[in-house]
Amino acid sequence: MIRYIPTVMDKLLKTIQDAEHILLNCHAGTDADSVGSSLAMHFYLKKIGKKVTHFSGDVDIPEYLKKLPGAKMIENKGWFDLDLTKFDLFIALDTAALTQISKLNEVAIPNKLKTIVIDHHASNPGFGTINYIEKDSAAACQTLFWLFKKWDIEITPDMATCLFAGMYTDSGGFKYELVSKKTLEAAAELVSINPDFYQTIAAMENTRLPVDVAFQALALNNIEHFFEGKVAVALVTNKQLKKSNIPDNFSGGAEISNFLKSVIGWEIGVSMIERKPGVFSLSFRTRDAKTYDLTKVTGELGGGGHRAAAGAQIAKPLNEAKKALKEALQKSYPDLK
């Protein structure tokens, strides 16, 4: 007789089913994959009668993500605003590390709070009680889609829209390295569930505000080049943000770094934004992930992410921060001169 051995996926489902009050998060510097995957999970948890608290993180979710179905279920609260004794399960989706739960202070999850990590970041150390990390998945929403399929869960049109939005954006419109047959099969099924998905995508992509244009102009007007022009850095100081009336928590760094790497000859694009005096948020993108695995440089800086897209933070004065960045790049890629 063959003995049945429960898989990690089975343990995940059993743990969710046994919980009563479940906590969901959006990661720091949140994006559509974070919000989309956590909202899809939120819809499922409500359907099976669970009590759910869903918090936005250090700041409220960006305006464009409020176009996703169910976005109003996300409370504008941070990790340190919560009474963690109220929850018996924390599900962290698309969250690569404890530092992605909050950047305001050191995060410690109480031992009594069971934690499920569902993610796709190669740098994720597996900080949960149960960890399900698909490092070859293009998005956390893709990972969650196939988990739902494994669990034989009905995906509603709202869930489908959230999952599709996360996959679409995190894969750069299905053109990044990790996009696979499984990605496109998942997308095709989600589109069949909700053929009107494109309305949400269009709404998300047409929510720019004047501050978005002001930030882009500021960032693109302050580009520095390192290593014979192979690395382009858009550097914005806190003083410049204040002068242009741009809030410290403005999100847009990833869009800038992505734009920079699209320029021929600029192998690595970096946005370097001083959110608070002496604290720089860095977003990295590369056009050549095989040569420049970005998890190397962000690992040197205490961050993480993917080969082609990653992030980190440097808490140092301007000149020291620039020096730390250049040293991390040189150490990670000795061929840079």
Domains of the chain as residue ranges with CATH:
8-205 (3.90.1640.10), 210-332 (3.10.310.30)
- Taking the chain (337 residues) in runs of 10, the rounded mean pLDDT of each run is 68 97 94 97 98 95 94 97 97 95 93 97 93 95 97 97 96 90 97 95 89 92 96 96 85 84 96 93 93 94 87 94 97 90
CA distance 181 to 17: 31
CA distance 251 to 241: 12
- Nearest partner of 252 among 76, 99, 29, judged by Cα: 29
Cα 297 to Cα 170, 189, 240, 270, distances in angstroms: 20, 37, 26, 11
Q: How far is CA 131 from the centre of its chain?
A: 17
CA distance 234 to 219: 5
Beta-ladder partners of 22:
52, 89
CA distance 245 to 243: 6
Q: Are 157 and 199 in contact (CB under 8 A)?
A: no
Query: How do beta strands 304-305 and 268-276 pair?
Result: unpaired
- Nearest partner of 130 among 306, 7, 304, judged by Cα: 7
The predicted structure's pLDDT at residue 227: 95
The predicted structure's pLDDT at residue 122: 86
Q: Give pTM, 2 decimals.
A: 0.85
The predicted structure's pLDDT at residue 1: 43
The predicted structure's pLDDT at residue 6: 63
Handedness of CA 177, 182, 188, 192 (dihedral sign): negative
Cα 64 to Cα 30, 31, 60, 207, distances in angstroms: 11, 10, 11, 6
- Nearest partner of 19 among 67, 52, 41, 47, judged by Cα: 52
The predicted structure's pLDDT at residue 209: 83
Q: Are 268 and 285 in contact (CB under 8 A)?
A: yes
CA distance 233 to 270: 5
Sequence letter at residue 122? A
